[in-house]
Chains A and B, each alone.
Chain A
Amino acid sequence: MEERLITAAIVVFGVPAALVGYILLTERLIATLPEQRQGRIRPWFWIAPALAFLIVFLIYPTINTLALSFQDKVSKSFVGLDNYIWFFGDAGTLEALRNSVLWVIFMTAGVVALGLLVAILVDRVRYESVAKTAIFIPLAISFVAAAIIWQFMYQYRPPGTEQVGTVNAAVGLVGLGPLDWIRERDFLIDNFALIFIGVWMWTGFAMVILSAGLKSISVELLEAARVDGANEWQVFRGIILPLLTPTIFVVGTTIVITALKSFDIVYVLTNGAFGTDVIARKMVFEMFTTQHFGRASAVAVVLLVAIIPFMALNIRRFREQEAIR
């Protein structure tokens, strides 16, 4: 008990004290330097702690993961490209790769399209904030909870018995189904049923950001176009869309990364069975179930490599915008 109290005291008092001490100490050090160099050196001292954390918790693990991906199950011996050969030769991982691509394409397209549609529609109604709140709420739910909700929504009962799942009850009203949505391989229905959950959750996010972008478009500009005789579609295509493109781009890249990292929904609903596996679930499976550090690291590296271009695009876009400002 006392031990814990002492640890707690060290953490809560020690850390801020150390930080303050660090600043004071570095100021002393800087003061000894020639006046004209002080200004250039100081920022480096200030970001040094953050940089240290970044190196320890991000850069070092990344490099270590890369190293592990060339080693065997227990990270004892070097196996060259074996883990990557496994990755690109295993039917299970290739299926996961295909599904992740599906997630990236359809979740991103779905979220951006629906988010944009809702943002534009609610912009014209009086109950805008209520509508936006309703659509935003799913984002506040954890992935696992959302997956459980949809497990009930997609629930399947044999034909001829009462359908307790909302989706099957609804399609039953028009004389279709029932369908076991999250396990039906035909036409990749199961994958799309899972991706739809992602779309349902993230549409609110896209809507909020796009809606803010929409509000920043000057009303005069739109008025001018309308006075000149442009119809609503022309206004949208010619003015709103071009002006919103940077925002759409930011939203899109964020969703692409989210889609690549998607794990929880698949894990909870199918655990990757019925042809619905995705890269992130495969990584967790290889890491914690198979405990094959080499393969798990190889999957992680592939995932990282897939994400890097989108990160780079995002950063470049951001810089361009900053330059315009």
Chain B
Amino acid sequence: MRKGNRGLRALLALGGSALLVAAACGTAGDTSDKEVTVVGSWGGSEQESFLAMVKPWEDKTGNTVKYTGSRGLGAYLTTAVASGTLPDLAGLPGPGEMKEFATGGSLKALEGVLDLNTYKADTVPALVDLGTVDGKIVAVFIKTSVKGFIWYNPANYDGTAPANWDAVMATDPGSAEALWCVGLESGADSGWPGTDWVEDFVIRESGPAVYDAWVAGTTKWTDPAIKGAFEAFGEVLDASYGGATFVNSTNFGGGGNPLFTDPPGCQFHHQASFISDFFKEQGGAADGEFDFFVMPEINPDYAGALTGGGDLFGLFSDKAAAKDLLKYLVTAEAQQIWADRGGFVSANTKVTTYPDAVGQKSADAITQATVFRFDGGDLMPAAMKAAFFRAMVDFAEDQGQLDSILESLDEVQSTAYAPA
């Protein structure tokens, strides 16, 4: 009988733990019509800014926004789409995923949601195009960023923006040890800052047509236009602080820190607008101790060409409150709230005042851009992008390998674009 008793006890224990599990599950979310679920990649101060941005809308409509920040947006949305338990609004990891979700039908067209005429009139045209799939607008930019800024320390450089690329390269580094600082390390994504360099060279040297064909996988990597961009980056590396070892071992966040050492390690650092936060937090620079100019033209035919990125946002539900929120988010009124809080460039041209020069100049660069292209690496298939990242690391380590690096990229290109 003792045995039976033990079995009973085990069953009771199981029952007890079952209750605990059930209680733990009981806290999972409950969605009503008044609540809009939003998933984005923003955390920390960006999340606070987003919440501040939606606050007036919540107050006005009585609805609530339930925001979840997730770094792994791509994996999250892929599973969410597959399982059907979608958020109402979500940030999209990139244009590639946007296309997939839109053609798959989970991403809603914004025809009846936005006042399209006003939206188109108020938004930078290139950014409207980037959110369009098969002629339908399916995503909007809540926040944009510009790549290809050249940062300097005003204490070491007078701030004149050189007229063209040759003038930049001919700049006298003055008291600085080298002309450039480059840092490519970024864990498993190491090499990406180098891809920004190559993209900026391709679009300024060879123009948007070549850029698009290259991103789409129809222009080969061994093409003179792409090889030329690598070589131009090679010249930068030759003139960079600490040599190849520094370049590959330095995290992108600290890549520009030698701008602020005494004596300075370098004169210039090429990086997107976000880097100013790293200057302040890691480089020990205060506001005013850094400034930038936009990377100038190379081929005058393509003057004003710009690359950048941004946070695309899409609608996954038919809920009235969700539609209303999206409509509100693209307005100048909403965008101005985040712009005032800093670290933000709006896609809306009606947003004209920024609290700092970085924001102001970024916004000006976007509105003045004749050609705007999304970050090329992010548009390529995952295997191509990974190979591109690695190629930059290998190239920085040994530039003599350029031909074999480009050949192996061609090899990846020949399979990466095949339809899955």
A-B contact pairs, 24 of them (CB 8 A): A5-B25, A8-B21, A8-B22, A12-B14, A12-B18, A12-B21, A12-B22, A73-B418, A156-B245, A156-B246, A158-B243, A158-B246, A180-B245, A183-B245, A270-B190, A271-B190, A271-B390, A272-B390, A273-B393, A274-B397, A290-B415, A291-B383, A291-B420, A292-B415
B416 touches A (CB below 8 Å): yes
A1 to B382, CA, bound (A): 36
Q: Which residues of B contact A180 (CB under 8 A)?
A: 245, 248-249
In the complex, what's the smallest C-beta–C-beta distance from A62 to chain B, in angstroms? 25
Contact of A5 among B15, B22, B245, B394 (CB under 8 A): B22
With A12-B18, A267-B188, A268-B187 already in contact, the answer to whether A183 and B25 are too (CB < 8 A) is no
Closest A residue, CB atoms, query B420: A74
A196 touches B (CB below 8 Å): no
Which of B189, B242, B243 has the most C-beta atoms of chain A within 10 angstroms of its own C-beta?
B242
A8 to B246, CA, bound (A): 53
B26 touches A (CB below 8 Å): yes
A5 to B386, CA, bound (A): 42
B22 and A183: CB pair below 8 A?
no
Identify which of residues 239-286 in chain A touch chain B, using a CB-to-CB cut-off of 8 Å: 267-268, 270-274, 285
With A158-B241, A183-B397 known, 17 other A-B pairs at CB within 8 A are: A5-B22, A9-B18, A9-B22, A12-B21, A13-B15, A13-B18, A20-B11, A158-B242, A158-B246, A180-B245, A180-B249, A267-B188, A268-B187, A274-B397, A290-B382, A291-B383, A292-B415
A285 and B248: CB pair below 8 A?
no
Q: Which residues of B contact A291 (CB under 8 A)?
A: 382-383, 420
Q: Which residues of A contact B241 (CB under 8 A)?
A: 158
A292 to B387, CA, bound (A): 14
A36 touches B (CB below 8 Å): no
Q: Which residues of B contact A5 (CB under 8 A)?
A: 22, 25-26
| Number of chain A residues close to chain B: CB under 8 A | 29
With A13-B18, A16-B14, A158-B246 already in contact, the answer to whether A290 and B188 are too (CB < 8 A) is no
Contact of B415 among A16, A73, A289 (CB under 8 A): A73
A13 to B20, CA, bound (A): 12
A4 touches B (CB below 8 Å): yes
With A267-B188, A274-B397 already in contact, the answer to whether A183 and B415 are too (CB < 8 A) is no
B218 touches A (CB below 8 Å): no
A109 to B17, CA, bound (A): 44
1/0 per residue A1-26: CB within 8 Å of B? 10011001101110010001000000
A205 to B233, CA, bound (A): 47
A1 and B28: CB pair below 8 A?
yes
Q: Which residues of A contact B22 (CB under 8 A)?
A: 5, 8-9, 12
In the complex, what's the smallest C-beta–C-beta distance from A288 to chain B, in angstroms? 8
B287 touches A (CB below 8 Å): no
A1 to B25, CA, bound (A): 9
With A12-B17, A180-B248, A267-B188 already in contact, the answer to whether A289 and B390 are too (CB < 8 A) is no
A273 and B11: CB pair below 8 A?
no
B30 and A1: CB pair below 8 A?
yes
In the complex, what's the smallest C-beta–C-beta distance from B134 to chain A, in angstroms? 24
A73 to B420, CA, bound (A): 8
A214 to B137, CA, bound (A): 72
B420 and A268: CB pair below 8 A?
no
Contact of A156 among B249, B415, B418 (CB under 8 A): B249
B18 and A290: CB pair below 8 A?
no
| CB-based closest 10 A-B pairs | A12-B18, A158-B242, A290-B383, A156-B249, A271-B188, A289-B386, A8-B25, A180-B249, A180-B245, A16-B14
Closest B residue, CB atoms, query A151: B187
Closest A residue, CB atoms, query B23: A8
B249 and A289: CB pair below 8 A?
no
A289 and B28: CB pair below 8 A?
no
Q: Which residues of A contact B14 (CB under 8 A)?
A: 12, 16
In the complex, what's the smallest C-beta–C-beta distance from B393 to chain A, in angstroms? 5
Q: Which residues of B contact A273 (CB under 8 A)?
A: 190, 390, 393-394, 397
A20 to B11, CA, bound (A): 10
A9 to B23, CA, bound (A): 11
A155 to B21, CA, bound (A): 44
Q: Which residues of B contact A289 (CB under 8 A)?
A: 382-383, 386
Contact of B25 among A4, A20, A156, A272 (CB under 8 A): A4
1/0 per residue A54-97: CB within 8 Å of B? 00000000000000000001100000000000000000000000
In the complex, what's the smallest C-beta–C-beta distance from B361 to chain A, in angstroms? 31
A274 to B418, CA, bound (A): 29
A73 to B417, CA, bound (A): 12
A180 to B382, CA, bound (A): 29
A273 to B25, CA, bound (A): 43
In the complex, what's the smallest C-beta–C-beta distance from A172 to chain B, in angstroms? 15
Which of A5, A183, A271 has the most C-beta atoms of chain B within 10 angstroms of its own C-beta?
A271
1/0 per residue B1-28: CB within 8 Å of A? 0000000000100110110011001101
Closest A residue, CB atoms, query B29: A1
Closest A residue, CB atoms, query B416: A290
Q: Which residues of A contact B187 (CB under 8 A)?
A: 268, 271
In the complex, what's the smallest C-beta–C-beta distance from B308 to chain A, in angstroms? 25
A183 and B249: CB pair below 8 A?
yes
A271 to B192, CA, bound (A): 13
In the complex, what's the smallest C-beta–C-beta distance from B360 to chain A, in angstroms? 35
Closest A residue, CB atoms, query B415: A73
A290 to B420, CA, bound (A): 11
In the complex, what's the smallest C-beta–C-beta distance from A280 to chain B, in angstroms? 14
Q: Which residues of B contact A1 (CB under 8 A)?
A: 28, 30
Q: Which residues of B contact A267 (CB under 8 A)?
A: 188
A8 to B20, CA, bound (A): 11
In the complex, what's the smallest C-beta–C-beta distance from B26 to chain A, in angstroms? 7
1/0 per residue A199-235: CB within 8 Å of B? 0000000000000000000000000000000000000
Closest A residue, CB atoms, query B18: A12
A16 to B188, CA, bound (A): 43
